[in-house]
Amino acid sequence: MRIALTHGYFLHEDPKELEIMRPYPTLGLLYISAFLKQHDKNVEVVDSTFIDREEWLTQIKATQPEVLAFYTNLMTKVNILELVKLVRKEFPRCLIVAGGPDITYNIENYLEAGIDITISGEGEQTMLELIESMEANSDLSEIAGIAYMDGEKIIQNDPRQKIREMTSLPLPDRSSIPIEKYLNTWKKHHGKSTLNISTQRGCPYTCKWCSTAVYGQSYRRNSPENVVSEILHLKEAYNVEALWFVDDVFTVSHKWIAELHATFLKHKLSIPFEIITRAERLNETVLTQLKEMGCFRIWIGAESGSQRIIDKMDRRVELETVQQMIVRTQELGMEAGTFIMVGYPTETHEDIQQTLQHIQAANPTHLTITKAYPIKGTALYEEIKDEIAHFPHWETNTDRDIEIPLPYKAAYYDNAVRFLVNGWKAKRHKSMKHALKSKLAYLMMQWNKKAG
């Protein structure tokens, strides 16, 4: 049986990514590809990142898939629904499958939009069982984690149990995609051939805005030996010069970090890498170990400079701890990035002012700011769904387009972003120009606040 895996993300259609040029392979698909090949299945990956839709369709035609499986998320959903229509015209008998973080709480929508089978949760075992069921022409009712239509009725099978041991998974099938295009893009724009790597599945924390639709609120980790073995493979096979660890909270376990550090030393390994973690899961020992392994950048989330908003998010961290760890990371010679979210429900003018104070006190190397939006299935969504006045058309919009009920109008929050970014740059670069821009944005915030 011919199987094609794809994701429907096109770099040339993404103006923000074209500015920063930090593309990464879709690891979820590559894990599934490797798992299916391990079980002798005929699978190809059609990586859409560096091609256009016409070339994508050409590659799909060349593959002649009997099963076409999409990885879908908030960014790619609209694209994928459009691509499904193209595939239906060319291959009316092809079984179309969709999995990924956008599926679990939108099963009915996807099935009604033309997807034959949805996969919720981790996809390796589910895809294998689905393929084997089709090959044997057997009943789908025993395959955990899938949903499908039976006439006009939606059949949703029992949830799939999570893979307990990451050591049981093969390495992602990076050889199935034009990996050199990712490496060359990174080398050209950032000076080092860089790839992403995963050591962890699930997150044990309960931040209300964060989706855990695929891996769940759990914590499962690959062994340090396996992680180092994969890194050595990447260096040997692809001459990788830097890494991005995609794990939600890299330093959850201090014991695991210590073991990874010891394994790096054992293999005389050092490679530049960056991570995301939480401030309270850092300390002097962990920071030193990260530095010695090659870590050059740590992203430390706070999401707000208001302790009231942080508590409302259920972040379970003290603002002072965040500031201390951002400062200490930089003192030890590593870069520190942080994330800020504006427009969280009940956030006030005073909260945003406190956020600038926090940013300037921490003075991070990098700052990323987003507007809050409610992802279906999260605690945030459940809290405010009855207050949402308008839900955009599902097939042509995403959860990012849902407007959270807020005390001020949209222009206020646009200026709040400018206020915070320029206030950070004014402190970071001792820039009078950015100080003036921040002040102007603040005046506009006050005007919008009154106008609202």
Q: Where are the domains of the chain?
A: 2-156, 168-370
Token readout for 244 is 């991005």
Q: For every one of its 452 residues, what pLDDT tens digit does the chain have, with 9 covering 90 and above? A: 999 999 999 999 999 999 999 999 999 999 999 999 999 999 999 999 999 999 999 999 999 999 999 999 999 999 999 999 999 999 999 999 999 999 999 999 999 999 999 999 999 999 999 999 999 999 999 999 999 999 999 999 999 999 989 999 999 999 999 999 999 999 999 999 999 999 999 999 999 999 988 888 889 999 999 999 999 999 999 999 999 999 999 999 999 999 999 999 999 999 999 999 999 999 999 999 999 999 999 999 889 999 999 999 999 999 999 999 999 999 999 999 999 999 999 999 999 999 999 999 999 999 999 999 999 999 999 999 999 888 899 999 999 999 888 889 899 999 999 999 999 999 999 999 999 999 999 999 999 987 65
CA distance linking residue 84 with residue 55, whole number of Å: 15
- Helix 53-63 with 77-90: angle, nearest 10 deg: 50
Token readout for 207 is 């931040």
pTM of the model: 0.96
Cα 348 to chain centroid distance, Å, stands at 28
- CATH number for the 168-370 domain, one of 3.30.70.270, 3.30.160.270, 3.20.20.70, 3.30.450.20? 3.20.20.70
2-156 and 168-370 agree in CATH topology = no
- The burial of 405, by beta-carbon neighbours within 10 Å (0-12 exposed, 13-18 middle, 19 or more buried), is given as exposed
Helices (H), 162-283: 179-190, 224-238, 254-266
Mapping DSSP to helix (H, G, I), strand (E, B) and coil, where does residue 349 land?
helix
Amino acid at 269: L
Phi/psi of residue 400, nearest 5 degrees: -65, -20
Domain 2-156, CATH 3.40.50.2300 — does that match?
yes
